[in-house]
Structure 1
């Protein structure tokens, strides 16, 4: 008797192969030049199989960004804790963000996404919205801290974007747009601590 879970495992393997192939194609060729045909050939599956998993190239690319973000969160407890110092918790959140921004695959794919977005305002809005969904964790944390009376803000999303702006101004945009080297460990520490201290000086 065949194992009923075997087809699922095969499906999962094919999905993983598609994602791996797509990452390589997007990083090597860019968004516009990458096609579902090329991804299928690289993954060793049919084009129909690719479309069974991902209805469009946009959906495939969004899933890759989502997967990178999720992998950066593994093992981290991002939930707000009333019994822990705010600075300690925020530093953990910001350091997690810096680890993602330091990831070579993420930086390459971010460049691909930005280049693709420049040529299509509609696609840009969609990608920004999808990336915004991935950053919701910090907004949720700020909202919880504000509800607990430990932060002063009635706009957690705005506060979250401000904090992330302080970080990305050093650890994302210079690397993406000016091809600057990634921050060293000491630089990451300085950026994280100064950003958190500025944030808490205003909102704390």
Structure 2
């Protein structure tokens, strides 16, 4: 899953098309070469635009990288979406949410760019802080779902944000961090199902009302 979806409608204005080309070129360069080795000259060449055009859209490499990080976050959270259904079993709904999460984490493009992003934000914490500030109060699908189930009286009292981090942490300990830090292979479909099921059972064992 690249942050810039190639299946999205093509922008009509020339300036929008150039901006999209710059973002996609930057993604390719950051993925292939890392942050430090990527220059605005390389991005301009890959995008097929002048360096001046790149600077017209993004005042610095930091600003361009920050925009990619925000889009990475927004695209990943948009993919994790399931409207809470009071008439359906909690386990069935949570399993579908985690399956969506695992499909996203199984994408090599997402893992490659996330690896670059994490390395650079560790190197430059202020960049991570800027990204978090831009995200504002947005909540992702798992948090929204938990909040709805709580309001429906089907979960014990909990902090929805904390609980969402808990259940997704169980998933990421198998399907994100080993791939990011150790270069582990993606999980098999059977292993994805096992991870999702065990995380859901642990979550409901702790928080579901009897």
Q: TM-score range by the shorter chain?
A: 0.7 to 0.9
Distance in 1, matches of 2:134 and 2:112, equals 17
Pick one of 150, 154, 161 that aligns with 2:158: 154
Give the helix-richer structure, 1 or 2: 1
2:116 is aligned with 1:109: no
CA-to-aligned-CA distance 1:94-128 (integer Å, 9 cap, x gap):
11111111111111111101211222222244456
Relative to structure 1, is the Cα distance of residues 56 and 118 closer, same or farther in structure 2, using a 3 angstrom cutoff?
same
Classify 1:142/1:22 alpha carbon distance in 2 versus 1 (closer, same or farther; 3 Å). same
Residues 183 and 75 of structure 1, relative CA distance in 2, 3 Å threshold: closer
Q: Do the aligned partners of residues 118 and 72 (structure 1) sit closer, same or farther apart at CA in structure 2, a change above 3 Å counting?
A: closer
Residue 134 of structure 1, CA deviation: 7.4
**In structure 2, C-alpha distance between the alignment counterparts of 1:101 and 1:91, rounded to whole Å:** 15
Normalising by structure 2, we get a TM-score of 0.81
Q: Deviations over 1:41-93 (max 9, x none)?
A: 21011233334434443443344345455556778752222222211211111
SS in 1 for 2:13: helix
Structure 2, unaligned runs of 5 or more: 1-10
Q: RMSD in angstroms over aligned alpha carbons?
A: 2.7
Residues 65, 106 of structure 1: 8 Å contact kept = no
Unaligned runs of at least 5 residues, structure 1: 1-6
Match of 1:38 among 42, 47, 63: 42
The equivalent residue for 2:22 is 18
SS in 2 for 1:78: coil
Aligned length: 198
